[in-house]
Amino acid sequence: MTQVAEPATGSAGAELERVNHWVGGARVAGASGRKGPVYNPATGEVAREVDFASAEEVDAAVRVAREAFTGWRATSLSRRTEIMFRIRNLVDEHRREIAAFLTAEHGKVPTDALGEVARGLENMEFATGVPHLIKGTFSEQVSTGIDVYQIRQPLGVVAGITPFNFPAMVPMWMFSNAIACGNTFILKPSEKDPSASVYLAELWKEAGLPDGVFNVVHGDKVAVDAILAHPDIAAISFVGSTPIARYIYETGTKNGKRVQALGGAKNHMVVLPDADIGMAADAAVSAAYGSAGERCMAISVVVAVGDVAEPLVSAIEERLPKIKVGPGSDATAEMGPLITREHRDKVASYLDSGKHQGATLRVDGRQHPLYQDGEGFFLGVSLLDNVTPEMECYRNEIFGPVLEIVRVPTYADAVQVIEDNPYANGTAIYTRDGGAARQFQFDINVGMVGINVPIPVPVAYYSFGGWKASLFGDLHMYGPEGIQFYTRAKVITSRWPDPATSKVDLGFPRTR
Ligand code: NAD
């Protein structure tokens, strides 16, 4: 499979690969004249350029998807299932190639990138069960000689707008179910790491998906706004930051679309005094710094209850020098760079703001040699202790390798801290007390809860989604709610003709 389309000339005169759109089963070079840089975050260099679609280019892709819908929705479930199995097998076979794109453009280390592909693959596996998942219901003889049944039908052309931090998995969350249910799909991936989506499009083609069923348009706000305004797009799935999620939800629903828009997060891990300190520290470190903290389910705040704080923070701190920060090309690296220099600097700025507002900067990632001397967008792991909810570093989603410790006297205070936070994506509790864990599960207003599990991303046969400012819409993503999102119900009331019982009756239909 080729990766390169038309060569372009970079500012330094070097030829850069161009990432094109994918429409109607083929690469389509951008015609808008607008483009964006795609960095290798480990070196800081612009590695590729990506086309930015105009509203007209989005419209052309939607027209292709609209035409493909007629045939695809009529394609038998058995044929659609066969294609789902084929794409599942191709993604499985090409895990390493997909992961390599993630490492090259996002910066995550290969083990993490392979984990992302594996979790995306689960969604494809779930979608192979579409004949069972899409089954309707049937009620016989609701009235004499009359049956009622409900069927679920696809919506038409649906779109997915995805964030930079999971360039393969989040699109797979969306398009696996959407396509299996008979919709056609327009993906607008993050412009920061767009290549994996085009590679997945090539795999879809190889799997036998008819041209036009899966399309990729790259771009920025111009492309997104064209999707939001397009009358032939029936539904939008979005994952990204909260301000954009709110905008997508408000604009999309105003334009009559079904929308699910997942936003940002600030995930708290409560550690009770009876918890196993070593296990809690391992979990906090893994969940805070994995993928350089650029995960919507990362633990960004540890809420240490009572006298667990001192030994817990020491145990976390002593683990940090052992974390190997480096590029994905180094097989021993455990944590890669951040996505852009601008984002890295923004993350680092919270270390100073936290310190100025009274937090204790116990570990400063700016001391790392790759921050000080490297050209890549690296920041070492950082630990801010004695953080309070009023501080800027707490109030914002940092989305980087910074773990904050909030110390509280009681369990009730810990719950209150979480309640007062506007986000509610994920949370976790560490304790050996089953009763306390059960109480937490009952009390807490958060969409995904881990009990001694720090990153409780649901398996593909449940659905993923936060509460409060972490999700706008009614249905969570993937799993059973994903099937509901991408289909609509039709209820049929049916009678086989029996002229013997026919008469004129102007009354409102009643059962008999
Ligand atoms: P982002 O909101 O900046 O971008 C997401 C998408 O929206 C991209 O495709 C981007 O091109 C587009 N976009 C950006 N600005 C826009 C604008 N002004 N108008 C229209 N479209 C716009 O998010 P990001 O930085 O790519 O991703 C990180 C964010 O995503 C974090 O906040 C993270 O918590 C969140 N996230 C949430 C989940 C979840 O499941 N809740 C999962 C992953 C990431």
pLDDT digits (tens, 9 = 90+) for 495-506: 988 888 888 999
Percent of the chain with pLDDT over 90: 94
> Between vectors from CA 417 to CA 413 and to CA 421, what angle results, nearest 5°?
165
Q: What one-character DSSP code corresponds to residue 503? A: -
CA of 161 to the centre of ligand 1 (A): 8
CA of 239 to the centre of ligand 1 (A): 6
Query: What's the rounded Cα separation, in Å, for the pair 39 and 17?
Result: 12
Q: Which of 19, 119, 165 to mutate to test the pocket of ligand 1 (most atoms within 8 A of CB)?
A: 165
Q: Which residue is closest in CA terms to ligand 1's atom 9?
A: 190
Atom of ligand 1 nearest to the CA of 477: 40
**Residues whose CB is less than 8 angstroms from the CB of residue 463 and which lie 6 or more positions away in sequence, other chains included:** 475, 476, 477, 478, 479, 480, 481, 482
SS3 of residue 277 by DSSP: helix
pLDDT at 292 over 70: yes
Dump pLDDT digits (tens) for 140-162.
999 999 999 999 999 999 999 99
Residue at token pair 């070593």? 278
Percent of the chain with pLDDT over 70: 97
Q: Are 8 and 50 in contact (CB under 8 A)?
A: no
CA of 244 to the centre of ligand 1 (A): 7
pLDDT at 6 over 80: no
Indicate if 181 belongs to the active site. Answer: no
Say what the pLDDT of residue 315 is: 98
Q: How many CA atoms does the CB half-sphere of 29 hold within 13 Å?
A: 9
pLDDT at 364 over 50: yes
Say what the pLDDT of residue 7 is: 38
The mean predicted confidence, pLDDT, of the chain is 96
Interval 101-111 mean pLDDT = 98
Q: Are 263 and 245 in contact (CB under 8 A)?
A: yes
Q: Which residue is closest in CA terms to ligand 1's atom 36?
A: 240
Q: Which of 186, 190, 446 to mutate to test the pocket of ligand 1 (most atoms within 8 A of CB)?
A: 190
Say what the pLDDT of residue 509 is: 86
Dump pLDDT digits (tens) for 181-238.
999 999 999 999 999 999 999 999 999 999 999 999 999 999 999 999 999 999 999 9
Output the ligand 1 site: residues, CB below 6 A.
161-166, 188, 190-191, 220-221, 224, 239-241, 244, 262-265, 296, 397, 399, 425, 466, 470
Catalytic residue selected from 296, 379, 406, 469: 296
Query: What's the rounded Cα separation, in Å, for the pair 242 and 470?
Result: 7
Q: How confident is the model at residue 12 (pLDDT cuts 50, 70, 90)?
A: low
Say what the pLDDT of residue 9 is: 43
Q: Which residue is closest in CA terms to ligand 1's atom 16?
A: 221
CA of 408 to the centre of ligand 1 (A): 32
Dump pLDDT digits (tens) for 476-500.
999 999 999 999 999 999 998 888 8
Q: Which residue is closest in CA terms to ligand 1's atom 21?
A: 221
pLDDT at 318 over 70: yes
Atom of ligand 1 nearest to the CA of 264: 34
Reported for 116-120, long-range contacts at CB under 8 A and 24+ positions apart, including other chains, are 116/166, 116/168, 116/169, 117/91, 117/168, 117/169, 119/169, 119/457, 120/91, 120/166, 120/168, 120/169, 120/170, 120/171, 120/172, 120/173
Q: Are 270 and 444 in contact (CB under 8 A)?
A: no
Q: Which residue is closest in CA terms to ligand 1's atom 40?
A: 262
Say what the pLDDT of residue 482 is: 98
Point out the least confidently predicted range of 47-61, 234-248, 404-418, 488-502. 488-502
Q: Which of 119, 224, 464 to mutate to test the pocket of ligand 1 (most atoms within 8 A of CB)?
A: 224
Atom of ligand 1 nearest to the CA of 339: 25
CA of 53 to the centre of ligand 1 (A): 18
Say what the pLDDT of residue 14 is: 65
Say what the pLDDT of residue 367 is: 98
Say what the pLDDT of residue 424 is: 98
Q: Do the bridges between strand 402-408 and strand 299-305 make them parallel or antiparallel, or are there none, so unpaired?
A: parallel
Say what the pLDDT of residue 10 is: 45
Atom of ligand 1 nearest to the CA of 225: 20
CA of 168 to the centre of ligand 1 (A): 14
pLDDT at 13 over 70: no
Residue 39's beta-bridge partner residues?
Answer: 46
Q: Which of 239, 260, 448, 467 to mutate to test the pocket of ligand 1 (most atoms within 8 A of CB)?
A: 239
pLDDT at 41 over 50: yes
Please name the residue ranges forming H helices in 95-237. 95-105, 110-127, 130-133, 169-180, 195-206, 221-229
Atom of ligand 1 nearest to the CA of 166: 43
Q: Which residue is closest in CA terms to ligand 1's atom 42?
A: 296
CA of 263 to the centre of ligand 1 (A): 7
CA of 241 to the centre of ligand 1 (A): 4
pLDDT at 2 over 80: no
